[in-house]
Structure 1
Amino acid sequence: MRTVVLAQSQLRLPDASLFTPEQLDAEIAIMPKGKRALIHSLMGKDHAIAMPERQAQWEAERTAFKAVLEKHGVEVFRPRLLTEYEKAAGGKQGYSNDFVRDPWFTVGNYVIEGSLMFPQRRHEVLPSRNIMYAEVLPAACTYTALPQPEIMPLEVDDGGPGPFLEGGDVLVYGRHVFVGHSGRASTLQGAEHLRKLLAPSGYTVESVLMKPDILHLDCTMGMVREGLLAVYADGLLDGVPKALANWERISVSQEEAANLGTNGLPISPTVYVTDPFFKRIGDEVAKHGIRVEYVDFQISRGFGGAFRCSTQPLWRETV
């Protein structure tokens, strides 16, 4: 990894009045049980205002992560902060600027703006646009965006008007692209849009079906380096994809996966970043001659994302 965008830490969750109790429980069911009460308490509130000390800890996590990236020679960009106008425009749906992996992503020489299922996240790409204008438009690459999703009721959660395609569901292995599908984020229509875009350049796009209690593909499967996979295999309805079936596996438990155990970030084939909460996984990674860097990311993980979710690589060298 040579250049990466590292997320900011801004979040206001939607008003609870937008959900029935059953809908709200269903939406946060992907979170570990110990984190759900926090989400309930933050509905309709800006995290920085409601919990300033916790906000400072959250920002410190990203600062510590930035230091690790830069120590290993990675150039780090940050999205700008949301304007007050953008926050106000979110209305009861709230706003977010905290996980840069999902609103846009890169596949080879393609930079693609996705389409997010949660309404409060659909403008999350905007704080990264200045980086795209400065770094992407002048480059020899394709820059495109999926169609804007239609407005849909909350209960239409799968296969609806979309298309939805989120970066956390997109894992790239050479010319093979895996797109997760659990009904929580990316849809099969989103994968079809990606397939149509990439096929002329020789890419294969494969949909990977997951259990409905998993948000994104990188919450159940992570490529540590060539030939080594961290995976919660029981979360994959059809098992590990055939293209990765012969890779050596570090098995991740359901509890570890729910806490983002597969969401570490490989900086290079010899350096991997994870949380000390996953020391067991880190020890397994280290057995393969890989240096493991640990950063406490408990606040970020409490919102459903870790190291991969918090970063968007602009430039990786092929090794």
Structure 2
Amino acid sequence: MEAECQALIEIFDRFDVTVYRTEELTDEMVAANFGEKWLVNGYMTSYSRDPIFVVGDNVIELAPGAPNRRAELLAYRKLLYDRVEPTSAKWVQMPMADARNLTDPEYTKETHAALEGGDLLVLGKTVLVGTSLNPKVGSSALGFEWLRDLLEPQGYTVERVRIGEEFLHLDVVLSVPRDGVAILCPDAFVDGIPSYFDGWDLIEVTKDQAQFLACNGMPLDPDNYILGYNDVEDGSTVQEGLEEHGITVHRIAYENHTEDGGSIRCTCHPLVRELS
């Protein structure tokens, strides 16, 4: 997985994108903050897309739905303090859920405000929030409502997008490489493809392709797109569709991340977006 990360960083370097890495999260850090018993849930820092969300001047510490993602923000503490604290950005933390509910065998994310960055997609002043029908993973309806209440007074339109229970996050079934072009899995959307994309050119993938993360690439700019591929999903459908629109595709073998449930977009999160 680290070799795959280094391949991704090499592409970022070619495009003069500054990359920051998190601290290493340890048993000692988790136990000191959550107690020894929490270690049974495990923890991870593989996918920086999920624990934070940066939109406009807002840097938001999210509340992931799964117990093994709750300690993750500890690894970001110094990075966020060094990068965000000296600026005028608004640094916000979501309400914390009662940890007893998170480890309840009958747990459902719908009892609290849960948000994970893989469900959040910024399209100018529109923010799409995915909520899987799976009751135990991803973002919740209360999480969507919390984000809407935060951002709409700032001039954003925040829309909920329901996706099938077999999908973890919105970015598993949707990617936007440039204005007017979207990569998506039509069968994943419970209420149909969002009206935002009416009149767009759509590069369509199947449910099977989406589950092997065909949609989880990363646009660098309107003309360049990073695409992960693996032994099951070679990325050819998406690559051909992008190249037909004049978009250069930068391919990375991302098999180990995919086996762990994530791909290119999951691995990174922008702190600063520069608009030309």
TM-score calculated relative to the size of structure 2: 0.91
Find the counterpart in structure 1 of residue 16 from structure 2.
73
Cα distance, 1:100 vs. partner? 0.6
2:110 aligns with one of 154, 159, 165: 159
Show the counterpart of 1:282.
239
- The one-letter code matched in structure 2 to 1:157 is T
Contact 1:265–1:308 (8 Å) recurs in 2: yes
**Corresponding position of 1:93:** 41
Q: Structure 2 matches for 1:74-153, cutoff 5 A? A: 74-86=17-29, 88=31, 89=36, 90-150=38-98, 151-152=100-101, 153=104
Q: Does 1:172 align with 2:122?
A: yes
CA drift at 1:87: 5.2
Secondary structure of the residue aligned to 1:295 is strand
2:153 maps to 1:200: yes
CA distance in 1, matches of 2:158, 2:177: 20
Residue pair 2:65, 2:109 contacting (<8 A) in 1 also: no
Answer yes or no: is 1:264 the counterpart of 2:217: yes
1:156 shift after superposition: 2.8
Q: Aligned pair count?
A: 261
Give the superposition deviation at 1:215. Answer: 0.4
CA contact (8 A) 1:61 1:295 kept: yes
* 2: CA distance, partners of 1:282 / 1:250: 10
1:131, CA displacement in angstroms?
1.3
Shift of 1:86: 2.5
Cα separation, 2, equivalents of 1:212 and 1:158: 13
Deviations for 1:54-79, whole angstroms, at most 9, x for unmatched residues?
xxxx1100011111111111110000
Residue 59 in 1 paired to residue 2 in 2? yes
| Equivalent in the alignment of 1:45 | none
> For residues 250-305 of structure 1, what are the alpha-carbon distances to aligned partners after superposition, in whole Å with 9 as ceiling and x for unaligned?
00111110001110000111110012421221121111111100111100011111
Question: Corresponding residue for 2:248?
Answer: 291
Partner residue, 1:313: 270
Q: 1:92-121 CA distances to partner (integer Å, 9 max, x unpaired)?
A: 111111111001111111111110111111
Q: What's the counterpart of residue 19 of structure 1?
A: none
Q: State the shift of 1:233 in Å.
A: 1.1
> What SS does the aligned partner of 1:305 have?
coil
Root-mean-square deviation over aligned CA pairs = 1.3
TM-score (norm 1): 0.79
2:105, 2:197 → 1: CA distance?
Answer: 35
Aligned twin of 1:10 = none
Name the SS of the counterpart of 1:275 in structure 2. strand
Instruction: Tell me by how many angstroms 1:220 deviates.
Output: 0.7
In the alignment, the residues of structure 1 paired with residue 174 and residue 145 of structure 2 have an alpha-carbon distance, to the nearest angstrom, of 21
Query: Partner amino acid for 2:12?
Result: L
Larger RCO: Structure 1 or Structure 2 (Cα < 8 Å, ≥ 6 residues apart)? 1
- Provide Cα deviations, 1:158-188, integer angstroms capped at 9, x if missing partner: 422x210110000011111110011321011
1:199 offset after TM fit, Å?
Answer: 1.5
Describe the SS at the equivalent of 2:266: coil
**SS of the residue aligned with 1:193?**
helix
Q: Give the partner amino acid of 1:112.
A: I
Q: Distance in 2 between matches of 1:268 and 1:254?
A: 27
Match of 2:138 among 170, 176, 185: 185
User: Structure 2: how far apart are the matches of 1:109 and 1:154?
Assistant: 38
Compare 123-132 and 273-282 and name the one that shifted more: 273-282
Q: Identical aligned pairs, as a percentage?
A: 34
Q: Secondary structure at the match of 2:44?
A: strand
Q: Tell me, in whole angstroms, the C-alpha distance in 1 between the residues paired with 2:10 and 2:95.
A: 36
Indicate conservation of the 8 Å contact 1:87/1:94, yes or no: no
| Deviation string, structure 1 residues 197-235 (Cα, Å, up to 9, x no partner) | 111111111110111111000011111111110000110
